[in-house]
Amino acid sequence: MAAVHESVLDAIGGTPLFRLARLGAGLAAPVYAKAEFLNIGGSVKDRAALSMVLAAERDGLLKPGGTIVEATSGNTGIGLAIVGRRRGYRVIAGLADKSSAEKADILRAYGAEVVRASTAVPQEDPRHLFKVMERLTEEIPGAWLANQYDNLANPDAHLRTTGPEVWEQTGGRVTHFVAGVGTGGTITGTGEYLKEASGGSVTVVGADPESSSYGGGDGSPWYVESIGHYLHPDTVEDRWPQALRSEAIDSYERIPDRESLLTARRLAREEGILAGPSSGTAVAAALRVARQLGPEDLVVVLLPDSGRSYLSKVHSDAWMREWGFLEDGDGLRSLLEAAGPLVPVAADATVGEALEVLRDVPGGVAPAVLARTERPYGVAATEVVGSVSRAALEAALADGTVKPGDSLGALLGPALPAVGVGQSPAEARAVLGGACRSVLVLVDGRVAGVLPREVLG
């Protein structure tokens, strides 16, 4: 018989393990998933939220009538909203502008106030979500910033609960623990406990988006929410969270977005587990780890949240197709190959530099991108800030408005519309509408090429 609790707060944690029998078929080592989406607020972050609020009350940082403030990709805010409202506080959740609309709606439903701000600017920028929330905390009397990234009550929650649960549920047989790394709280606390309990024999593996800098990528953007470490090209200081103690992690598996997203979809279809995209990253990593192991090993992979928050994203065929993650026909693939490789222009280039780049570009139009540096994982669509056209530059030079050494400035046109490689030429024409002459084509959320209207039929 299931437990009876006097408060939902008593029901946080205690999540089951499910064997991934379908996705792990043919592997010698069993792979078990820790179902954190079954927490009361739908994610692993309920544990950290409860732990941080109780610690803040204990330390006198949060007093009756106080306000909880936090920057969140969604789930920590939901956990804080549940715990905070239940214990009588006002809750303000600062949500990254790339987080899903569902998360904002859920936050409001639990009684949190939602503030949207960007995480796509350097952390020092006053518009950055973290800075906006710091300012609010200073302005509101009795406000406390939970600060999950540097709050040690976050990893502590997992040291006290998630770690012991995994150890007990597997009867001490777990040999490998795999989890994504956002704040690092989950993997640090759980990993440290399992290492301690096993006398150091459990291997802890971080599941990281391929371009995230935790696992060795360049920090350029990726498409799995809530995990990884992003580095804006203008970032001055690369700070890693204090909730992440890197010694707890033995190695990283670096997972491309397509593999993460398709694995999340397989989890739903083949295992009956509707989970979020970071669960896809974690399971993809766990399967890679398990392929190297034998029957005496046992892998536990942590699934942080539910797929219900992403029905408009990873679990939507239309979204997957629009961002170039799903191709179920020829789509634009053959037109893209005929068009040749992508040639981007750095948005802060000079007119002369841009013309040099554009000289041999068919159609004479290129996307202007944020980064000057090479992007080994491709130019993410989210890094495109505008467009540059050879004709416009030449005209401005000819009439003397600009000189070759000037920056592009006002000559930067609007960002071109984009379609996924799996979309049809007719869909691309519809996206172009009346005003634009070229369309960007995305493969795996990265710009793979530019197609002029003429080739779309």
Would you give the DSSP letter of residue 16?
Answer: -
Q: Which residues are catalytic?
A: 45
- Spatial contact of 276 and 207, defined as CB atoms under 8 Å apart: no
Residue number, 159 or 358, with CB nearest to ligand PMP: 159
- What residues contact 231, with CB distance under 8 A and at least 6 apart? 213, 218, 219, 220, 238
Query: What size, in residues, is the chain?
Result: 457
The whole-angstrom separation of Cα 344 and Cα 379 is 8
Q: How far is the CB of 276 from ligand PMP (least distance, A)?
A: 5
Residue number, 302 or 440, with CB nearest to ligand PMP: 302
Residue number, 305 or 444, with CB nearest to ligand PMP: 305
- What burial class does residue 390 get, using C-beta atoms within 10 Å of its C-beta: 0-12 exposed, 13-18 middle, 19+ buried? middle
Sheet holding 365-369: strands in order across? Answer: 345-346, 365-369, 384-389
Residue number, 180 or 367, with CB nearest to ligand PMP: 180
Q: Are strands 384-389 and 365-369 parallel, antiparallel or unpaired?
A: antiparallel
Q: How far is the CB of 187 from ligand PMP (least distance, A)?
A: 6
Q: How far is the CB of 275 from ligand PMP (least distance, A)?
A: 9
Q: How far is the CB of 178 from ligand PMP (least distance, A)?
A: 12
Q: Are strands 446-452 and 438-443 parallel, antiparallel or unpaired?
A: antiparallel
H/E stretch holding 117: strand 113-117
Residue number, 147 or 226, with CB nearest to ligand PMP: 226
Q: DSSP letters of 299-366?
A: EEEEE-BBGGGGTTTTT-HHHHHHTTS--SS-TTHHHHHHH-S---EETT-BHHHHHHHHTT-GGGEE
Angle at 278 between CA 273 and CA 282, to 5 degrees: 80
Residue number, 284 or 384, with CB nearest to ligand PMP: 284
Residue number, 182 or 378, with CB nearest to ligand PMP: 182
Q: How far is the CB of 43 from ligand PMP (least distance, A)?
A: 6
Residue number, 82 or 412, with CB nearest to ligand PMP: 82
Q: How far is the CB of 101 from ligand PMP (least distance, A)?
A: 16
Q: How far is the CB of 395 from ligand PMP (least distance, A)?
A: 48
Adjacent-strand bridge partners of 253: 207
- What residues contact 339, with CB distance under 8 A and at least 6 apart? 362, 449, 450, 451, 455
Contact set with ligand PMP (CB under 6 A): 43, 45, 73, 75, 180-187, 226-227, 276, 278, 304-305
Q: How far is the CB of 132 from ligand PMP (least distance, A)?
A: 18
- Spatial contact of 278 and 180, defined as CB atoms under 8 Å apart: yes
> Look-up: residue for tokens 């040999």?
175
Residue number, 282 or 336, with CB nearest to ligand PMP: 282
Residue closest to ligand PMP (Cβ) = 182
HSE (side-chain half, CA atoms, 13 Å) at 135: 12
Q: How far is the CB of 180 from ligand PMP (least distance, A)?
A: 4
- Spatial contact of 44 and 155, defined as CB atoms under 8 Å apart: no
The whole-angstrom separation of Cα 181 and Cα 282 is 9
- What burial class does residue 413 get, using C-beta atoms within 10 Å of its C-beta: 0-12 exposed, 13-18 middle, 19+ buried? middle
- Spatial contact of 412 and 434, defined as CB atoms under 8 Å apart: no
Nearest CA to 232 out of 244, 246, 218, 243 is that of 218
